[in-house]
Amino acid sequence: MHFAMLLFPGFEALDVFGPLEVLNVLSERKQIYLSLLASSLTPVSTQSPDPAARRAGSICAQEVLPTGTFADYLQDARAPDGVKGNIDVLVVPGGAGTRYPHAIDPVIEFVRGIAPPVKYIMSVCNGAGVLARAGVLDGRRATTNKMLWGQTTALRGEVRWVRDARWVADGNVWTSSGVSAGIDMMLAFVRETYGEDLASGIAQEIEYVWDREEDGTRDPFATAAL
């Protein structure tokens, strides 16, 4: 199974590395393939493009290396001789970068270009706003993080936003609530795909208190930021 995590400047670190921790452990038991895709092969930083984020004068960022580019992937996928490396599960994280066109527009364009052949599309946190803007969530039930609820859900009225949810699976589209909720969602996806024992075993190994409710409809943060 081929997973692809999309990266962009100002991605939220745990939106990416929570689900990837689950996949890293999974990868020792099941054959999976992970791509980290970005606009270019330049390392991608968590540094927020938002000047307000720098007001405290901190220097605190992490840079991750992509394994491929959006353009190269699309070219490979469209090659007449086959479906080299077709993505099964596309994961879009959130982060402050989602509010900056130069950071996020290439991601939206890529999601639009690739959505149909992908088996599953997922978002973490306000990555749901990226899927919404790409039109992927139209008519779907979906959730997003609670602190930015108003501004993210306002991006697209055609989505059936569900506030009280740690994650929502509507067909092949999975969305999670804020940051840490991406871990719960990915564990639920592992459960659906590979079974309860493997998902529970991974939660145990990473000592994560997984909200394992069947359908994700419980969210301790749903009312907190109203």
Binding site for a copy of itself (CB under 8 A): 3, 12-14, 16-18, 20-21, 23-24, 26-34, 36, 43, 46, 48, 52-65, 145-147, 177-181, 183, 204-209, 211, 220-221, 224-225
Query: Smallest gap, in angstroms, from Cβ of residue 146 to a copy of itself?
Result: 7
Query: Smallest gap, in angstroms, from Cβ of residue 26 to a copy of itself?
Result: 8
Which amino acid type is present at position 67?
T
Query: Smallest gap, in angstroms, from Cβ of residue 160 to a copy of itself?
Result: 21
List the end-to-end C-alpha distance of the chain, in Å, as a whole number: 39
| Angle at CA of residue 171, ends 112 and 98, nearest 5° | 40
Query: Smallest gap, in angstroms, from Cβ of residue 58 to a copy of itself?
Result: 4
- Is residue 226 exposed (0-12), middle (13-18) or buried (19+ Cβ within 10 Å)? exposed
Residue 149 φ/ψ, nearest 5 degrees: -50, -50
Beta bridge pairs of residue 2:
33
Residue 174 near residue 89 (C-beta atoms within 8 A): no
The pair of three-digit structure tokens given for residue 166, joined into one six-digit string = 């740690």
When the beta carbons of 132 and 148 are compared against a copy of itself, the nearer one is 148
When the beta carbons of 77 and 105 are compared against a copy of itself, the nearer one is 77
Three-state secondary-structure class, residue 77: helix
Q: Quote the radius of gyration of the chain (alpha carbons, Å).
A: 17
Query: Smallest gap, in angstroms, from Cβ of residue 178 to a copy of itself?
Result: 4
When the beta carbons of 100 and 138 are compared against a copy of itself, the nearer one is 100
When the beta carbons of 118 and 203 are compared against a copy of itself, the nearer one is 203
For 162, other C-beta atoms within 10 Å of its C-beta total 20
Three-state secondary-structure class, residue 23: helix
When the beta carbons of 51 and 139 are compared against a copy of itself, the nearer one is 51
Beta bridge pairs of residue 168:
175
C-alpha to C-alpha distance for 210 and 35, rounded to whole angstroms: 25
Query: Smallest gap, in angstroms, from Cβ of residue 112 to a copy of itself?
Result: 26
When the beta carbons of 61 and 79 are compared against a copy of itself, the nearer one is 61
